[in-house]
Amino acid sequence: MQTNNMFNFEYSYLSLPNQFYSLTKTNIFPKPKVVLINKKLCDSLNISISNKEDLTRLILVKNNRNSSFSQAYAGHQFGHFTRLGDGRAIILGEHLTNDKQRFDVQLKGSGKTPYSRGGDGKATLKSMLREYLISEAMHYLNIPSSRSLTLLKTGEQIKRENIEKGGILTRIMKSHIRVGTFEYASYYCSKDNLKSLTYYTINRLFPEINEYKNPPLALLNRVMKDQIDLVVNWMRVGFIHGVMNTDNTSISGETFDYGPCAFINVYNPEKSYSSIDYNNRYSFGNQPKIIKWNISRFAEALLPLIHQNRKKSIELAQSVVDDFDDLWKTKFYGMMLNKIGIQYNDLQLHPLIDDLLDYMQKFNKDYNNTFLSLSEDDFLKNTIPNDNTFISWQRKWKKNLNNLSNFSEANCLMRKNNPVVIPRNHLVEKAIEEANTGDFSLFYKLLNILSHPYKYSSNAVNFMEPSSSDFEKNFQTYCGT
């Protein structure tokens, strides 16, 4: 263990065979400067920060030691398998909190690594501002996510489509092990190395799985269920990840690598904002199918360990993956019924959800605000649709609601599941553009309001308005690497 006045580091990942990582140092940057510090996160992780100068020195200089590393992995990117790795990130270490919780501390945009594949290993300040803002918003929306500890300006101008300012994000996660890590192990490493990775992952993230008769199979089942829960939560708030490659699917069940993410405004299951998602592979409504596809790739990677007989191994893995559709349907409709104030997941109630979604799509209604309007608070009176189609649906809904619970209980359930504010695309873009020039006023306001997304207040009104149709028509997101 290595300690300093900030982090309490261990390096358990380095116990794996060295095919899984490369020891890596950060680049030297001309004028690094901390521009954002997440003090609440620091406190929750028992991290003490004295001042920004010490923080910069500690992250970029003191931690430039032989124990920092970049991870090797592979992945299916838009369905095509390729060898990858941390091309612009290093893990400084695994920070242990006072209660022995373990978190990776990763620098993103820290320079070239052995996996950079010709890239410069750097990140734009704007892309790191986006990840900082959205990852924190997701956390407060009660969705498992990587967290953002600090953001630094590097003082560099880096070449992309345009000349951009450089930035480095300090990212916190339970683990950066991903489906692509297992694909890498299965395709490029020995069976023994795959086994080492599998049991390291189990011991680190899910030690209770060791008690199961077939731990690799139990791991597949656990990861599938966690990913179903995660993506159901994405659908709850209208989040589009934008680049659901297998290397961006975490084993720990956390949202990460935010790249071209966005939030839908008008409900459209075919909506995709990513500039590189030409065929809408990762559109909003396709996310359930994609996570099932990714889990199938995880199952394939684990086949050598599930059973010594390959045919039997395939049968066992397939039996797990075959449960996906029923599990998804149960979780998805349960969540959607909660959004309309119904606690009981009854098959006969599912048409209520289908009809509401059809209505939103047909009449171009805002996804988040339509659900909000059901609570009938005075605060939201201007968002209530008043057309005949909605009124007809509303009558059916209230009839079912009255048969199951009182409105007060339903309203409480809706408030827990329908955020008042989400990161609206036009506000996120404006905040990022202004912060990139040094004006963080809107960025701070957004961070603050998004840290209380379920709170009804007069301050929230200005952040509830959807993006204009003109903005949405032309808006695209980019990986920003």
- Residue 457: the pLDDT is 85
- Residue 6: the pLDDT is 81
- Residue 455: the pLDDT is 92
- Residue 405: the pLDDT is 72
- Confirm if 136 and 422 have CB atoms less than 8 A apart: no
Positive or negative, the Cα torsion across 280, 419, 446, 384? positive
In the predicted model, residues of the chain with pLDDT beneath 50 are: none
Question: Which amino acids are annotated catalytic?
Answer: 247
- Residue 64: the pLDDT is 52
Q: How far apart are CA 477 and CA 475, in angstroms?
A: 7
Closest-CA residue to 200 (of 209, 213, 189) = 209
Q: How far apart are CA 309 and CA 315, in angstroms?
A: 10
- Going from N- to C-terminal start, the domains of the chain cover 2-177
- Residue 161: the pLDDT is 83
- Residue 366: the pLDDT is 96
**Contact partners, residue 228, CB within 8 Å, separation at least 6:** 291, 324, 327, 328, 331
- Confirm if 59 and 75 have CB atoms less than 8 A apart: no
Q: How far apart are CA 133 and CA 453, in angstroms?
A: 13
Q: How far apart are CA 372 and CA 385, in angstroms?
A: 11
Expressed in percent and rounded to 5, the helix, strand and coil fractions of the chain are 50, 15, 35
- Confirm if 275 and 478 have CB atoms less than 8 A apart: yes
Q: Give the tens place of pLDDT for each residue, 392-406.
A: 999 999 998 877 778
- Is-above-0.85 flag for pTM? yes
Q: What is the dihedral of CA 133, 136, 142, 146, to 10 degrees?
A: 110
Adjacent-strand bridge partners of 21: 71
Closest-CA residue to 253 (of 323, 150, 364, 178) = 178
* Radius of gyration in angstroms for the set of CA atoms belonging to the chain, rounded to a whole number: 23
